[in-house]
Amino acid sequence: MVVSELERIVSKIDIENDPPADEPERQYYFIARAKAMIGDSKPTACIKTFGCQMNARDSEKLTGILKCVGYEILPEEDEETADFIIYNTCTVRENANLKVYGRLGKLGHIKKSRPQMMIAMCGCMMQEPEVVDKIRKSYGFVDIIFGTHNIFELPELLAKRLEEKACVYDIWEGTDKIVEELPSERKFSFKSGVNIMFGCNNFCSYCIVPYVRGRERSRKPEDIIEEIRNLADDGVKEVMLLGQNVNSYGKGLDEPVSFAELLRKVAEVDGIERIRFMTSHPKDLSDELIKAMAELPKVCDHLHLPLQSGSSRVLKEMNRHYTKEGYMELVDKLRTAIPEIALTTDIIVGFPGETEEDFLETMDVVNRVEYDSAFTFIYSKRTGTPAAKMEDQIPEDVIKDRFDRLLALVQEKATVKNKALEGRTLPVLVESINPQDPGLVSGRLENNSMVHFPGDATLIGSIVEVKLSEAKGFYYIGDRV
Ligand code: 5AD
Ligand code: SF4
């Protein structure tokens, strides 16, 4: 739902009545209450997002809610001047947490001189009881804390904070609820993330996500399609279907639907020209999906397929349910069905017990697959996960050495891949004016690579044919044809 539509609904709500019990009407009511509290003061808000695409999408929903309440939204850089600051946090690796504590400390100092400033914390870190304890003990100036399962409750929590002037904490351990029909404000006018499912059931042994995002829940296909139709009517050309493991979409629904079937339905929506999705787990990548990707021209020839490790032994310890050979077979199948497909991946270095031989298996896969790009991560020990208790945690210097070797190989392969498209003319979805050179615009190829070429703001949001004149490692310089 767009903000203006909800504003119309909210303007008719009588806040003298008791709050409705049902969602989302209850939150609409609290938007009206919060709106009445802030009156004409036109406060500013800033949402700082850490982590993945899921958090980015959640932040768009938070933005929509705050706009409806009457906040002016400031860019992320302006956090220190805002009246209301929300940190939407990530906890997948420890350094993400450390970053948040550092910034929070700084905000505490600012709040001393501007006591009316409000601070809210939400996202994955808040689903860890130790984190909430620490914030309550050491950062007592935080006004509102909520988790990943109840972001839709922001209006209620905000109204409570404004009315009672006391700190508000509400974190749910889990949920089977999906609340539809809250407003959201997109960061880009022409592309949007669309949640198709929430949570994860895989319990990879290193990963904290299943503990903080809860069990897998799929949205109904008709709700997803309706959202995408509305987005298309609003000018969106590209959608990114989001889930921790999109390949297992639809399993718990009353009428189960496969992800491939969902893709076919999405491809039927007029106005949508590009479809992406994230993330795919190799263990659930079906032939049916590969066929759908090959047959549907709107589905981008790009797949993000996390490898994590190239060693079958480590993969077993990681609880990934595939082997090196199984992964390589998938890559062969994909390349046979979709010869131009760009493959990207995630790799973890230094999982407990990883030997030099194990690491060389990972290097071997990178060598053979020739990824277009790869996110490489140093293993981070997450309390509560099975891997945190494993013996044989790898020393830092060994990890660092492996990480550097892996990064060098990833970059070498990506450069070769990137060079291979030089001279080709391909469609580019224009995203913005180039921040370094206002004479250029920047956009993305189907494979997600950036292209910079001469153009102006009128091109933003359109798909144009661009000749890739020069490959620059990770991006291209081009010319419109
Ligand atoms: N340490 C390092 N990387 C991790 N990831 C998830 N958990 C950890 C961890 N404990 C990486 C995986 C995943 C990506 C989103 O983050 O590669 O695919
Ligand atoms: Fe974490 Fe594995 Fe689930 Fe991805 S599939 S979110 S790595 S547990």
List pLDDT tens digits, range 274-302.
999 999 999 999 999 999 999 999 999 99
- State mean pLDDT over 308-327: 98
- Report how far ligand 2's centroid is from the alpha carbon of 440 (Å): 38
Query: What pLDDT does 333 receive?
Result: 98
- Report how far ligand 1's centroid is from the alpha carbon of 187 (Å): 25
Using CA positions, which residue lies closest to atom 5 of ligand 2?
202
Q: Is the CB of 207 under 6 A from ligand 1?
A: yes
User: Which ligand 2 atom minimizes the distance to the CA of 281?
Assistant: 5
- 459 touches 430 (CB < 8 A): yes
Q: Is the CB of 403 under 6 A from ligand 1?
A: no
CA 153, 157, 160, 162 dihedral sign is negative
Q: What amino acid is encoded at 478 in this protein?
A: G
Among 346, 351, 390, the mutation site with the greatest number of ligand 1 atoms within 8 A of its Cβ is: 346
Percentage of residues in the chain having pLDDT higher than 90: 87
Q: Is the CB of 94 under 6 A from ligand 1?
A: no
Mean pLDDT of the chain: 94
- 336 touches 312 (CB < 8 A): no
Query: What pLDDT does 132 receive?
Result: 95
Q: How far is CA 107 from CA 79, 115, 259, in A?
A: 9, 11, 43
Q: Is the CB of 93 under 6 A from ligand 1?
A: yes
DSSP string, 82-99: -SEEEEEE--SSHHHHHH
pLDDT at 160 over 90: yes
pLDDT at 165 over 80: no
> Binning pLDDT at 50, 70 and 90, where does residue 178 land?
confident
CA distance 12 to 455: 45
Burial class from Cβ neighbours inside 10 Å (0-12, 13-18, 19+) for residue 21 reads exposed
Query: What pLDDT does 354 receive?
Result: 98
- State mean pLDDT over 345-372: 98
Among 148, 205, 207, the mutation site with the greatest number of ligand 2 atoms within 8 A of its Cβ is: 207
User: Which ligand 1 atom minimizes the distance to the CA of 308?
Assistant: 17
As a residue count, the chain comes to 481
pLDDT at 180 over 80: no
Region of poorest pLDDT, from 113-122, 173-182, 435-444: 173-182
| 3-state SS, residue 399 | helix
User: Which ligand 2 atom minimizes the distance to the CA of 207?
Assistant: 1
- State mean pLDDT over 138-152: 94
Region of poorest pLDDT, from 146-155, 168-177, 230-239, 454-463: 168-177
Span 385-432, pLDDT tens digits = 999 999 999 999 999 999 999 999 999 999 999 999 999 999 999 999
- 289 touches 247 (CB < 8 A): yes
Using CA positions, which residue lies closest to atom 4 of ligand 2?
244
Span 60-81, pLDDT tens digits = 999 999 999 999 999 998 888 9
- 425 touches 468 (CB < 8 A): yes
pLDDT at 211 over 80: yes
Burial class from Cβ neighbours inside 10 Å (0-12, 13-18, 19+) for residue 170 reads middle
Query: What pLDDT does 88 receive?
Result: 97
Task: Find, among 330, 324, 328, the residue nearest to 309 by Cα.
Answer: 324
Task: Name 233's Cβ contacts closer than 8 Å, sequence gap at least 6.
Answer: 271
> Binning pLDDT at 50, 70 and 90, where does residue 464 land?
very high
Q: Is the CB of 306 under 6 A from ligand 1?
A: yes
Percentage of residues in the chain having pLDDT higher than 70: 100
Query: Which residues in 128-166 are b (16+ Cβ under 10 Å) and which e?
Result: beebbeebeeebebbbbbbbbbbbbbbbbbbbbbbeeee
> Binning pLDDT at 50, 70 and 90, where does residue 473 land?
confident
Torsions phi, psi of 11, nearest 5? -65, -20
Torsions phi, psi of 456, nearest 5? -130, 180
Query: What pLDDT does 185 receive?
Result: 83
- State mean pLDDT over 122-129: 95
Among 281, 317, 320, the mutation site with the greatest number of ligand 2 atoms within 8 A of its Cβ is: 281
pLDDT at 3 over 90: no
Q: How far is CA 443 from CA 75, 313, 481, in A?
A: 21, 40, 15
Q: What is the pTM of this model?
A: 0.92
